[in-house]
Structure 1
Amino acid sequence: MDEIKPFAAGFEFEIMPEVLKPFKSGDKMRIQLIFRGKSVNGVVKVGTKDGIDEVAVDGFCEITLKEGVNVIVARYVDEISMGVYDKRNLTATLTVVAR
């Protein structure tokens, strides 16, 4: 299987990989955080069988995948005035299995 360029699913907040392919342990995966169709900065947490790592996202970031399940979690705080609320917390996840 060749690399595939993914497209946004249209959710308000998404983790967008640069490419999709069969990943192997040790491969590097570039991701971007997208809020309402635009790139945003933030921090992602990557959970594997070895624990949890934090990676800063400034435009794109690069994650080294480990063998097995890699769960990528990002949170974005939308500071808007909406009724009685002054902000919303949005969470996105992406799960990648590296062989």
Structure 2
Amino acid sequence: MIESVGSVTQSVQTVSKQQRAAHVADAFKQALADAIRQVNDQQLQAEALHTRLAAGEVNNLHDVVIAQEKASLSLQLALQVRNKAVEAYQEMMRMQI
């Protein structure tokens, strides 16, 4: 009887660890998707300002340049994060068990 209670407790702990791991994975996936969406939004905003500038609808050139720099910096940051993630994955794959 006591052994069966111990095995049930152990299986509950395993399930909760798996649920926590799944929750963390989902949270990371959502955070990554949000970050990529923000980068895309900044790129689209900069493109829209460039289009408006070409049409003569923008009075302040500084806003266009600032939007373009924000978009550029966010894209560079996203690329660096991706590069580090790929590098970490490759390092884990080289590890011997």
Q: Does TM, normalized by the shorter one, top 0.5? A: no
Name the TM-score, length of structure 1 as normaliser: 0.24
Structure with more strand by fraction:
1
Name the TM-score, length of structure 2 as normaliser: 0.24
Structure with more helix by fraction:
2
- Structure ID, larger Rg: 2
